[in-house]
Amino acid sequence: MKKNENGCKYIIVTGGVLSGLGKGIAAASIGNLLSGRLKVVPVKCDGYLNTDPGTMNPIEHGEVFVLDDGGEVDMDFGHYERFMDVHAKFHWNLTMGKVFKDILDKERRGDYLGKTVQFLPHVTDRIKEWFHGIAREEKADVLLIEVGGTVGDLENQFYLEAIRQLKRDVGRDNIIYIHLTYVPVPEGVNEQKSKPTQMSVRLLNEKGIEPDVIIGRCPELLTPSIKEKIGSYCNIPASHVISGPDVKTVYEIPLIYEKEGLPAILHSMLGIYSPPDLRQWETWVRNIKKNRVNPERTVTIALCGKYTALEDSYASVVEALTHAGAHHDVRVDLKWVDTGKINSPDDARAALAGVQGVIVPGGFGRRGIEGKMHVIRFTRENNLPYLGICYGMQLAVVEFARNVCGLVGANTSEVREEGVQVDHPVIDILPGQVNVSNKGGTMRLGGHDVELKAGSRASAIYGGQTTVRERFRHRYEVNPAYIERLEAKGLVFSGKHPEENIMQVMELPGHKFFMACQFHPELTSNLRHPAPLFHELVKAALEV
């Protein structure tokens, strides 16, 4: 029996040779190209045993991306949302941890009716049922499934076996396998080499999977002869070998795949028709590319945090600045400032020399926060545009409490855990977080409404709207007991939770641009719709 009763098509994206080739971007770009008329639902399969990446160190694993439903997922979901304009769900991310937990819970309930629960078929069946379940629930036209890691990884074998079986279950006209590999051009040889691709496809063949399309990640466009060669070794037409060249901006990838003929292949193999409309997208990409090389206007924004060692941990912030830059047609240069190294007002002044805007993004713990406070004070006192995000809002409140309200010993109670004495906890634990001891998925997470004060700058930035929805990930908040004292000195809380007394946006009237928010506006920014706070920060920076 065919399992795709609802007519869903399956596109499987696997990767080979090495990690870091941009499989997430490849999948997101495929989704972008098909989303014109079809409902494309991205699904990601991760081999690790964590339920989600929320408990992983961002330096090791990259940014934690928070979904509207509160799920914590990895950066690939950021790519999916930005390229495909979807709001993904936590359930669309399978991890081996989630799959096993589900199976073990079932086993304890006795749902296996006395059977021996085995890797085959129970794990693979569960994975397949998970896919079909999403397709059903979402009434998806296309399920776009990215398998994490590379084909040789032991931990992904059950996903590969499940997707192999899928072809038989759903019928060959309803599934397509796309394999992303690496085509190096070794220095000195100066020729595109197909061997790694051949080896990787061979490995995939051993698992019983034959790719229908191969995307060759390469420093340049693939030549007709290498396409021919790869095609013949891997049993596909040369036209099904698609170039994945290095690009100035990842947003160019859908445009390249389109020129390489990928949509037509997908349409004909799957019997679908959903032509992409890339006209506006092309304009923004042209702006980004032009400004990288030959900018008419440039602004430099300092990103001040402690995880600066790994730019990936602030990937969405960087993307949001790219979106804003594309719409203003300006080049946004980033300056990474490690606040662990800022120990005095002079350090802050030196670090911020020549920048037109400052962002203190989200963060946790004690390290680097006094440096952030120096940075924030400098922006406040020198009329330098400032956007504080989450921790960046909390620390702006602490700085204001200390230096404007004169509350000596003001701090966030978060640092108490690390032995710092806090005399004025202007930022305190959220009431709902007091008794929480588990670390996984327990913060205040996901989308919540924000009520904006009429007539405030925040409301103007959001085009006069009074209620907007943004995504949160925090444990601490502005302590309600200090709100009056802070506002008496001129700080305005211009965004609040509609019912609870949770402050969600603050601003300083009279300052060129001093805005901070408890949520993460970068998570909902995309090339079509840049996050308003980033858009306006860049605008303010242009006027410095």
**Residue 448 contacts ligand GLN per CB under 6 A:** no
Both tokens of 488, joined, read 């008496």
Cβ neighbours for 431, distance < 8 A, ≥ 6 positions apart: none
Q: Are residues 99 and 126 in contact, defined by beta-carbon separation less than 8 angstroms?
A: yes
Name the 3-class secondary structure at 299: strand
Name the 3-class secondary structure at 43: strand
Specify which residues 182 forms β-bridges with.
Answer: 217
- Pick between residue 103 and residue 317 the one whose CB is nearest to ligand GLN: 317
Q: 10 Å Cβ neighbour count for 421?
A: 8
Q: Are residues 213 and 59 in contact, defined by beta-carbon separation less than 8 angstroms?
A: no
Altogether, the residues listed in the chain come to a count of 544
Element at 508 (helix H, strand E): none
Buried b (16+ CB within 10 A) or exposed e, 286-319: ebbbebeeebeeebbbbbbbbbbeeebbbbbbbb
Q: How far apart are CA 25 and CA 29, in angstroms?
A: 6
**Residue 476 contacts ligand GLN per CB under 6 A:** yes
How near is the Cβ of 419 to ligand GLN at its closest, in Å?
Answer: 16
**Residue 522 contacts ligand GLN per CB under 6 A:** no
**Residue 390 contacts ligand GLN per CB under 6 A:** yes
The 164-183 site mask, x for binding ligand GLN (CB under 6 A), equals --------------------
**Residue 377 contacts ligand GLN per CB under 6 A:** no
Both tokens of 278, joined, read 């890339």
How near is the Cβ of 474 to ligand GLN at its closest, in Å?
Answer: 3
- Pick between residue 362 and residue 447 the one whose CB is nearest to ligand GLN: 362
**Residue 148 contacts ligand GLN per CB under 6 A:** no
- Pick between residue 286 and residue 475 the one whose CB is nearest to ligand GLN: 475
Is residue 91 part of the annotated active site? The answer reads no
**Residue 70 contacts ligand GLN per CB under 6 A:** no
Q: Which of 247, 298, 364, 466 binds ligand GLN (CB under 6 A)?
A: 364
Residue 529 phi/psi, 5-degree rounding, is: -130, 90
Is residue 87 part of the annotated active site? The answer reads no
Both tokens of 196, joined, read 């790694």
Q: How far apart are CA 254 and CA 34, in angstroms?
A: 10
Catalytic residue among 45, 390, 405, 517: 390
Q: Which of 474, 496, 511, 535 binds ligand GLN (CB under 6 A)?
A: 474
Cβ neighbours for 381, distance < 8 A, ≥ 6 positions apart: none
- Pick between residue 476 and residue 513 the one whose CB is nearest to ligand GLN: 476
Catalytic residue among 61, 328, 511, 520: 520
How near is the Cβ of 63 to ligand GLN at its closest, in Å?
Answer: 11
Q: Could you tell me how far CA 392 lies from the centroid of its own chain?
A: 19
How near is the Cβ of 366 to ligand GLN at its closest, in Å?
Answer: 10
Q: How far apart are CA 361 and CA 520, in angstroms?
A: 8
**Residues in region 414-443 near ligand GLN by CB under 6 A:** 414
**Residue 48 contacts ligand GLN per CB under 6 A:** no
- Pick between residue 249 and residue 413 the one whose CB is nearest to ligand GLN: 413
DSSP H helices in 145-223: 157-170, 195-206
Both tokens of 167, joined, read 């072809």
Q: Which stretch binds ligand GLN (CB under 6 A): 95-103, 126-134, 185-193, 474-482?
A: 474-482
How near is the Cβ of 516 to ligand GLN at its closest, in Å?
Answer: 11
Which strands, in side-by-side order, build the sheet including 476-478?
410-412, 424-429, 476-478
Half-sphere exposure of 254 (CA within 13 A, CB side): 27
- Pick between residue 58 and residue 254 the one whose CB is nearest to ligand GLN: 58
Both tokens of 505, joined, read 């946006």
Q: How far apart are CA 179 and CA 196, in angstroms?
A: 13
**Residue 366 contacts ligand GLN per CB under 6 A:** no
Is residue 543 part of the annotated active site? The answer reads no
Q: How far apart are CA 415 and CA 399, in angstroms?
A: 15
**Residue 72 contacts ligand GLN per CB under 6 A:** no
**Residue 475 contacts ligand GLN per CB under 6 A:** yes
- Pick between residue 257 and residue 476 the one whose CB is nearest to ligand GLN: 476
**Residue 263 contacts ligand GLN per CB under 6 A:** no
**Residue 362 contacts ligand GLN per CB under 6 A:** yes
How near is the Cβ of 414 to ligand GLN at its closest, in Å?
Answer: 5
Q: Which stretch binds ligand GLN (CB under 6 A): 96-104, 181-189, 395-403, 472-480?
A: 472-480
Cβ neighbours for 293, distance < 8 A, ≥ 6 positions apart: 248
Q: Which stretch binds ligand GLN (CB under 6 A): 187-195, 262-270, 287-295, 469-477?
A: 469-477
Both tokens of 33, joined, read 């190209």
- Pick between residue 84 and residue 516 the one whose CB is nearest to ligand GLN: 516
How near is the Cβ of 186 to ligand GLN at its closest, in Å?
Answer: 43
Q: Which stretch binds ligand GLN (CB under 6 A): 30-38, 261-269, 362-370, 499-507?
A: 362-370
Q: How far apart are CA 44 and CA 26, in angstroms?
A: 13
Q: Which of 54, 78, 363, 425 binds ligand GLN (CB under 6 A)?
A: 363
Binding site for ligand GLN (CB under 6 A): 362-364, 390-391, 394, 414, 473-476
| Residues known to be catalytic | 390, 520, 522
